[in-house]
């Protein structure tokens, strides 16, 4: 298997601890969670831990924050330069302590574990305010009243767990800065400055950072959101009953893309033609000009048998299939020599191979169709399914698409055209049958053919 890059943690494959669900957040839909405590918790000591997977980059996106003023607030967020800013206000002295990480976080195939801690009672000023990502304390540029030697005033007081609105996935200090992507395993501790090792550990074999169950206490205003109840996604599972209210979030936003089973999504860093936008948990593409524009998936494969679906088309000028790692870039996707795809055009389905010839099918294309792609890299074939039925027969790809890993892709020609892809972890396609692969992974409209599997890390560990 392969991902877009090789440097970042992409979630564990086998952990001994499973996270079953995450929650998808989308800025276009103004999706977030909020809660206002009825009493104040600790003003000096707390921890906020959560796992996040980004699907859109280059804009301010808040993970968690509290209080309703631009300067008088406590939060962390991804900035427009994809660094993390963490910001805590000491209200007795009206001092702002904040920092920007030196590192950038742009890998949309990765799950990141972000832990922000405050302990103003610590005599060592360099230990009072800290941010960790995947178990590593982040070096940062300290701003405001902060410095490396005094990151927060000794015994200073913050309002993070006070009687102020707390929001997950949106800023409290402005009407915006919505998060785009997935959030899982949210642990907030009142009166406890925990270590990242309370929530995660390094895998002995791979060396990657992986989640583990938190077994400590939560304090009065602490909470644990696991997003496992589709009918109550804001429910606190810590036992405290500190439940959150949903804003524009429904059961359809519950996902199985998690840090312990990471699914393929469309990658905004790997688009064609500079015209394609990726949104809705990395499962929707939207073209903005009259030209070819598209995107590739975040996971590539060179062996095994894989299945995914396309649907919710807004027009006929659509292609979907596979490209290899070198294919695409800022070019017209259908001209790429390493592309195999179906093209829907003028109500005729065409199959385009690397020699740029087409094979017309007798099926009529409808924008309501759901198309399945079945890729067999053991037998070197690809087959397309329309509403659960195979179109013609599997097509041999022996010798046609070069060497290396191959990635799902989709492209459109025309302004305003869009469609959705379903890799099984989350989709905006309306699903009525909720079929899974033979391992029980993925949620599809049609059952994958026998022996074909969803593109996720647990399946890749076994078949990839």
Separation of alpha carbons 223 and 234, rounded Å: 10
Q: What's the pLDDT at 2?
A: 42
Instruction: Average the pLDDT over each of 152-156, 207-211, 277-281, 293-297 and give the range with the smallest value.
Output: 293-297
- The domains located in the chain, with CATH, are 16-255 (2.60.120.200), 266-463 (2.60.120.920)
* Residue among 368, 369, 398 nearest 382 (CA): 398
- In sequence order, what are the residues at sequence separation of 6 or more whose Cβ sits closer than 8 angstroms to the Cβ of residue 188? 46, 47, 48, 49, 64, 161, 218, 221, 222, 223, 224
When pLDDT is averaged across residues 272-293 and rounded to a whole number, the result is 82
Each residue's pLDDT tens digit, 289-327: 777 778 899 999 999 999 999 999 888 788 899 987 765
Residue 270 confidence (pLDDT) above 70: yes
Rounded to whole angstroms, the Cα distance separating 15 from 202 reads: 10
Helix, strand, coil in percent for the chain, rounding step 5:
5, 40, 55
Residue 346 has pLDDT above 70, yes or no: no
pLDDT above 50 for 109: yes
User: What is the C-alpha to C-alpha distance for residues 219 and 138, in angstroms, rounded to an integer?
Assistant: 26
Q: pTM of the prediction?
A: 0.94
Mean pLDDT of all residues in 278-295:
87
Given a cut of 80, is residue 363 above it in pLDDT? no
Confidence bin at 343 (pLDDT 50/70/90): confident
């Amino acid at each position: 298997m392969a991902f877009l890059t090789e440097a970042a943690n992409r979630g564990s494959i086998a952990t001994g601890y499973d996270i079953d669900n995450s929650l998808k957040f989308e800025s276009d839909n103004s999706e977030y969670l909020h809660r206002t405590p009825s009493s104040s918790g600790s003003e000096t000591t707390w921890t906020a831990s959560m796992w996040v997977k980004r699907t859109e980059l280059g804009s301010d996106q808040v993970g968690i924050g509290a209080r309703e003023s631009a300067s008088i607030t406590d939060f962390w967020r991804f900035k427009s330069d994809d660094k993390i800013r963490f910001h805590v206000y000491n209200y007795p002295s009206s001092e702002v302590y904040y920092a920007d990480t030196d590192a950038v976080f742009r890998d949309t195939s990765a799950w990141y574990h972000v832990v922000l801690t405050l302990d103003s009672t610590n005599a060592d000023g360099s230990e009072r305010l800290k941010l960790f990502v995947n178990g590593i304390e982040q070096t940062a540029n300290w701003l405001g009243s902060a410095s490396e030697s005094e990151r927060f005033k000794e015994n200073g007081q913050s309002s993070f767990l006070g009687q102020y609105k707390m929001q997950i996935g949106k800023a409290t200090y402005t009407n915006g800065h919505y998060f785009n992507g997935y959030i899982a395993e949210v642990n907030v501790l009142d009166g406890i400055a925990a270590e990242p090792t309370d929530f995660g550990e390094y895998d002995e074999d791979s060396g990657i950072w992986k989640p583990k169950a938190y077994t400590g206490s939560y304090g009065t205003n602490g909470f644990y959101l696991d997003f496992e109840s589709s009918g109550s996604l804001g429910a606190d599972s810590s036992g405290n009953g500190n439940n959150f209210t949903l804003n524009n979030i429904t059961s359809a936003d519950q996902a199985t893309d998690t840090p312990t089973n990471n699914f393929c999504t469309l990658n905004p860093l790997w688009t064609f033609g500079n015209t394609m936008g990726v949104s809705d948990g990395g499962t929707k593409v939207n073209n903005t000009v009259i030209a070819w524009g598209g995107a590739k998936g975040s996971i590539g494969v060179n062996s095994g048998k894989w299945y995914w679906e396309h649907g919710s088309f807004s027009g006929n000028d659509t292609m979907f299939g596979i490209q290899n790692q070198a294919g695409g870039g800022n070019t017209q996707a259908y001209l790429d020599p390493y592309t195999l795809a179906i093209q829907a055009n003028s109500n005729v389905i065409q199959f385009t191979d690397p020699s740029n010839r087409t094979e017309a099918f007798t099926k009529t294309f409808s924008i309501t169709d759901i198309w399945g792609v079945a890729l067999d890299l053991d037998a070197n074939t690809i087959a397309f399914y329309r509403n659960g039925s195979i179109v013609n027969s599997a097509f041999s790809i022996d010798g046609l698409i070069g060497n290396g890993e191959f990635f799902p892709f989709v492209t459109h020609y025309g302004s305003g055209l869009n469609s959705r892809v379903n890799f099984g972890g989350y989709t905006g396609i309306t699903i009525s049958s909720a079929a899974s692969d033979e391992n029980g992974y993925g949620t599809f409209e049609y059952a994958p053919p026998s022996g074909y599997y969803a593109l996720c890390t647990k399946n890749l560990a076994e078949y990839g």
